[in-house]
Structure 1
Amino acid sequence: MKLNYFKSKLFLKYIWSYLFILLIPLVLMTIFIYESAVTNLKSEIEQSRLSQLTQTKVTIDGRMKELSEIASRISYDKRLTPYRVHDPIYSGEAIQALDQYKSTSSIIGEIYLYFHKDDKIYSSKGLNDIGVFTDNVRFQNWKKETLIQDLNAVRFPTMHPSDTVSNPSGMQESMLAYLIPITPNSPTPHGTVMVMIKESELTSLIDSVLGNYQGMTYILDNDGHILVDNRQGEALTNAEAKSLFNNLAPGIHDRSLNGKAHSIVSVKSENNGWTYVTVMPTAQFFSSVLHVRSLIIMLFIIIVLVGAAIALVLARMQYQPISMLVEFASSKSGAKEQSQRLEPAGNELDRIRSALQEYSSRIDLQEPFARNHFLSMMLKYGSTQSLTPELQEAFDLQFDRSHHFVMVIGWDTDEHSDLQERQHIIAMLAQIEFPELDAHGYGVELPQLDQLGLIISFSLGGRPDAFSHMQQIAEAVRTTLLETFDVVPVIGVGTCYTSPDQLNQSFIEACSAIELRISGEQGTINYFEKLSTTADPAFWIPGSTLLKLSQSLKQGSYDVAAQMIHSAIQSLQSSDLSALLTRCICFDLLNTILKAASELGNHGLMQQIAPNMMYGGTLDEFERSLLDLASQICSQVEQDNQQEEQSVIDRIVAYIDAHYTDNSLSLESVAFEFGISPSHVSRSFKEKMGLNFIQYIWQKRMGEVMHQLKTTTDPLKDIILKVGYVDTPNFIRKFKKETGCTPGQYRKMFAEGGGSTEDTDDE
């Protein structure tokens, strides 16, 4: 039969796999070439800008040096000494000299000479009063006071950033002010030369740095302030620029601005500390390599076409043996319907895998059930004759040790009801080894979800006591469960026998041990051999414990009562008493609780006793029942105490209502009157009334004063003293703070007979 390869998903997958093998390195190589081209171009542009910035820096440094030399010559020019410029005869020569210095540099827009604390300032155009100068030459961001202060205080050459300058005619121009102290390098300069530079003079020097690219060029002073900038496209605010260029080292950097990658090139002048920076978006470099992109795309298409042809040949060569295996698997499937059922399940490899997994799964599914069935039969009947050597070998079971016993392991289904975790426990216990104890075990699933059986076989190996060896094995099992699964189990252990045929008896005993256990606490191990052991019958609960329990119930202290009950039960759990004697001793606790309830007047508690307290249940269940009874008694005591406390508070409130006009009334006096501590009165009063003792008395006195002000014409001082308040000024302040008006104003507002003669008592 001739195969149609293109109808096979597997054949198409092989073609795609070969194409991917070809395309992945091809794509990576393409990206590498493209990125290399962009990186090289970016590096060239950055190096070009670095060279241009360096050249610009040298040029501007030269201009700044030229200005410093002019200032130096001015400081030593005899025509510009303070004496000559102040002399009306020679002041014309000074102005002419400044004009000559201005003409020596093309970037000087104007030059000014100012002597410290002088009221005049000199320029190439004439002499001006300093006040007139600041009015005529106005800087947008440089206040007059700051300008005069800078002229008097500058100690080092300082460039004021580009600012808008207005002249008397109203014209505005963007200029920089370069302040140079004279004499230069003197610790105590006597004047300042201020050179005004048009911003365009500096921007013209950095115009060529960006070329045809979008970006920004900045010149910053040594404090990071922008002196001038040149922008093509986007722009940054002064705050953004200062944040970006803060601590920016000279060189080439990559930064992200507004979520976009930018290339930053900076150069710093060693002469004046200025920084020259260009910022350009990196994305525009990619658009400059279009010719490289076109060539790469063409090569990519050619290689893909050739690779597709090679992939077709290779895929056909690899698919032929697989198609033969598919036919073989279909012929061995046992039925034509089976082959038809498998065909739509996936590709050819999936059909082969499914055929093999089907046979394997039949065995895998049946083996655990068969193994567990045989082990369950052993627990039920105890006979190992049904386990032939072949089955023992198949199930990997060995009962060649000298001693055998059964453990039943249970756990709280409320806390560990996860079936997946139970399956993991079963898988671990299916066959467990304890080499150091010369023992191994086989797990058996029991009908109950919260229980598992474990058949243990071991050899004494010279140990005289089999029971102590069993204890070590049981403890090892418990520790393994705790460490591996964080499961806190309760374990019942049956008696040890020398023949595996008696495992059914050990299983029954293990079930009895876990069912009749003295303690229901998780994590305990209960041995059947200990259930009938009777210890010293003189063991009883200490009288001090019973006395403390009775007293804690009378006091309504549930925490103490619960602690006494728990400690008593815990001591019983750790004892070696038999179950019957333990149950008898437990009635001491019950009798103590019932007696305490009777003394408290609760005679009906006996009817609330659960039947399992009298006839059965574990110690844990008995403890919970006792705690429930103790909780009822303590709750009743607490309720009675609250009712009594409420009655006391009601009597205290009534006492305060009757005596609040007594100025000697205090928390201590009330507490003494009722025989209660002041702290208890304060706490209880706040809990019951919602406000503290002092606030309640103040409200009573305040209400009475308001009533007296509205209904009587008694003097205010008399009213305040009458309600028990001695400090009249303090009362008036508090009254005004609470009502918003003085007592006199309050009386005017509510007096029935009009005005009052006591309006000034609160003044």
Structure 2
Amino acid sequence: MTYFKSRLFLKYIWSYLFILLIPLVFLTVFIYHNAVTNLRTEIEQSRLAQLTQAKVIVDGRMKELGEIASRISYDKRLTPYRVHDPIYSGEAITALDQYKATSSIIGEIYLYFHQDGKIYSSKGLNDYDVFAENVRFRSWDKDALYRDLNTFRYPTMRASDSVSKPNGMQETMLAYLIPITPNNPNPHGTVMYLIKEPELTGLIDSILGNYQGLTYILDNQGRPLVDNRQGEALSAAEAKSLFDTLTPGIYDRTLNGKPHSIVSVKSESNGWTYVTIMPSAQFFSSVLHVRSFIIMLFIIVVIAGAGIALLLARAQYLPISTLVAFAASKSAAKRPGTADGASGNELDRIRSALQEYSSRIDLQEPFARNHFLSLLLKYGNAQSLTPELQDAFDLSFDRARHFVLVAGWEQDGELGRAERQEIAELLAQLEFPELAAQGYGVELSQPDQFGLMLSFDPGSGTEEFEQVRKIVEAVRSMMLEAFDFIPVIGVGTCYASPDQLNQSFIEACSAFELRMSSGSGTVTYFEKLSYTSDQAVWIPANTLMKLAQSLKQGNYDVSAQMIQDAVRGLQHSELSALLMRCVCFDLLNTILKTASELGHHRLLQEMAPNAAYGKSLDELERGLLNLAAQLCNQVEQTHRKEEQSVIDRIAAYIDVHYVDANLSLETVAFEFGISPSHLSRSFKEKLGLNFIQYIWKRRLEQVMHRLATTGEPLKDIILTVGYLDTPNFIRKFKKETGYTPGQYRKMFAAGNGLAESAADAEDL
């Protein structure tokens, strides 16, 4: 897919994957850790229960041994007298054998009386020396054994020890010594049990189960009695350190450099401690099935998430790619020979295109606004403005009344470029809050003339004309304060709809022309112009002036309305047909006079007879309308020809002076005596390129020609054609041609025999 070639598309995919993976990883780790923790807790609780059960069993067995020793101490068959009596000694041996049989953990039972040289067992009577020779403990010598048998006052369990038998066999056994009579501070003897170690370790074998670790039984002094090891052992130092600080409960500790879980319980009856020690790492290995399931689930979710991420990224990227394609098709950067893989991602290219469009709009907006307002003055129809267009040009025609004034200046020479620009900026948008009025200025095609469209809301108790006069005086005062020259102002009639601004503009032009011929620095109101003495018979003079002005402007809509209004007024009068025809000659004379002033004498000869000799008033009206249409069409054609001629002369002027770095729209407009806005609008309409683009095209063509035919340095060539910013020119050159100037020169260097040495340095 071409999508995967886009870094932005891949970035979207990765962003969605990260949104999925980050919580998924945390969730997976949480689930896995929770499973391990639960398993560990279960194992530890199981060991705790098993240790407690082992403790109960061992305590029971030890209690049982204590009870046997107590019964021995009170058994008449086992008194010192009867044991030493040859007649009853057999009964004593039998009795000991019977006591031995009562407990399954007793390996052998011995009875010893203090300071006696004999020791008795279930197998018979032996001298102590013979006994010590037959039963030898590896870490408990004969003397120590004799001392302990005579001195112990409390039940004592010795740790497991290796015991050698007369037959040469060795067994690991524990010795449990109980003084008799039990709990007597002055015992007279000792009962010693020999217990095979497996008898005790068998009770704790099942605690570890399948896990590695150690199980200990410690005496009341913390010394190991027995231990059960599965795959691990503690050093003596670590065991001593652990047993010295051991407390009942479940806790963690590091042993042999590894974390271990320790479970410990303590017997209340004899103080023994039961301990299991297991490496904690086993708990993680015990959840392999859980881990496998989690990994499988993780992979499935990632694959599904990747698919969803792909769909979401595509859905998000699709409108962006559409914008990129649109921007590329419209951008000046998209030229033949330009690489598709432009630098930056799609958003950067869109941003660049928007910046380019923005710069174009910023450059053209004043001219576009002026052009649009000029069309309103000519054709009206302000209601066709869309809200977006009004917002773009910051226009609003929401007031109740609307009129137009035309301002100009009578002085020697035309206004300078700076002065004209200041006036345009001053009149671009006006606001008079105290008069509830606002206005928009537009530069007219006639030199040093500006139109101003004004809207206001009538005030209560104030005549409309008086409010118009105050608004006009406010505009005039503002202009007088800003400039040293006095404006001449013509004011059109007020209308309720902004669609009639074109009529008010015609009236303002009429008022402006009338006053221009009779005085300077004055304000002329169209509705105050003189009327004929008998309004019932003659067509008002202001109507004829308005008709003449609309014909001069080539505005057929206004001229047709003037003719129709005049004829309609005559039709409602009580004049005779002959008199009405005579009155209509005022309209015909106005049209013919205007045509004569405009130099259309051929039109007079062709159209005047037909218009003058209609059979009825309606036919006369149609003739006059036809004549007005022909005249307006001739005016439009003349204007177009004049504009085309002017534009041709301006284009020729640019072809000669484009190398001038100071060449600008304002200087050319000043040179040809037209307004910059009108020049910008007409230039684009006639040539299809705006003013700046045309100059750039001429300069570019000259640079390309010199690069291909000369060896001049690039900087000198650029300065020669009037461009001062060399780096900017190089960037624009590459956008237009797809090559840098150095690359372009190399393309022609071989064929023309030009040196290529300068080409490498020209792109710096």
TM-score range, shorter chain: 0.3 to 0.5
Q: TM-score, normalised by structure 2?
A: 0.42
Q: TM-score, normalised by structure 1?
A: 0.42
**Higher RCO, Cα 8 Å, sep 6+:** 2
User: Is the radius of gyration larger for structure 1 or structure 2?
Assistant: 2
